[in-house]
Amino acid sequence: MLGWMKSLNPEIRWRNRNLNRTRCPLRIRIRTGLYFGDQSGYVEPDPGHSLEAIFEQVYGMPWTPSAAFANLKPTMEGFAQQAETIQKGMSEVVMNGFKPDLVPVYKELVSEFAVCDRWFSSIPSLTQPNRLYVHSATSYGATTNDNKMLVEGYPQKTIFESVEENGFSFGIYYQYPPSTLFYRNLRKLKYIDNFHQFDLEFKRHCEEGKLPNYVVIEQRYFETKLLPGNDDHPSHDHGGFYDHVPTPATGVPSPDDIVGPEPYNFQFDRLGVRVPAILISPWIERGTVILPEPVKMRETEPVEEKKLSDFQQDLVLLAETLKGDHKKDIFLNKLADNMTVVEAVNYVEEAFTKFLGECEKAKQGGAHESHNPCLERPQPKREFKSFAHKLFSCLICDH
With cut-offs at 50, 70 and 90, classify the pLDDT of residue 146.
confident
Does the residue 388 lie in any domain? no
Q: Judge whether 286 and 273 are in contact, CB under 8 Å.
A: no
Does the residue 370 lie in any domain? no
Expressed as residue numbers, the domain containing 99 is: 2-365
Domain tally, the chain: 1
With cut-offs at 50, 70 and 90, classify the pLDDT of residue 332.
low
The C-alpha angle with vertex 242 and arms to 237 and 245, in degrees rounded to 5, equals 85
Does the residue 260 lie in any domain? yes
Does the residue 211 lie in any domain? yes
Name the least confident of 26-30, 120-124, 132-136. 26-30
Amino acid at 121: S
With cut-offs at 50, 70 and 90, classify the pLDDT of residue 28.
very low
Average pLDDT over residues 61-69: 92
Of the two residues 264 and 24, the one the predictor is more confident about is 264
**What pLDDT is recorded for position 34?**
74
Compute the mean pLDDT over every residue in the chain, rounded to the nearest whole number.
82
* CA-closest candidate to residue 186, choices 44, 60, 355: 355
Can you state the angle between helices 51-59 and 79-86, rounded to 10 degrees? Answer: 140
* Distance between start and end Cα atoms, the chain: 77
Residue 31 has pLDDT above 50, yes or no: no
Does the residue 249 lie in any domain? yes
Average pLDDT over residues 125-150: 92
pLDDT digit string (tens) for 171-230? 999 998 899 999 999 999 999 999 999 999 999 999 999 999 999 999 998 888 888 888
Each residue of 205-239: b (16+ CB within 10 Å) or e?
beeeeebbeeebebbbbbbbeeeebebebebbbbb
Does the residue 379 lie in any domain? no
Q: Which stretch, 1-15, 70-84, 288-302, 307-321, has highest mean pLDDT?
A: 70-84
Does the residue 51 lie in any domain? yes
With cut-offs at 50, 70 and 90, classify the pLDDT of residue 293.
low
Does the residue 34 lie in any domain? yes
Q: Judge whether 135 and 160 are in contact, CB under 8 Å.
A: yes
Residue-by-residue DSSP string for 316-352: HHHHHHHHTGGGSTTTTTTTTTT--HHHHHHHHHHHH
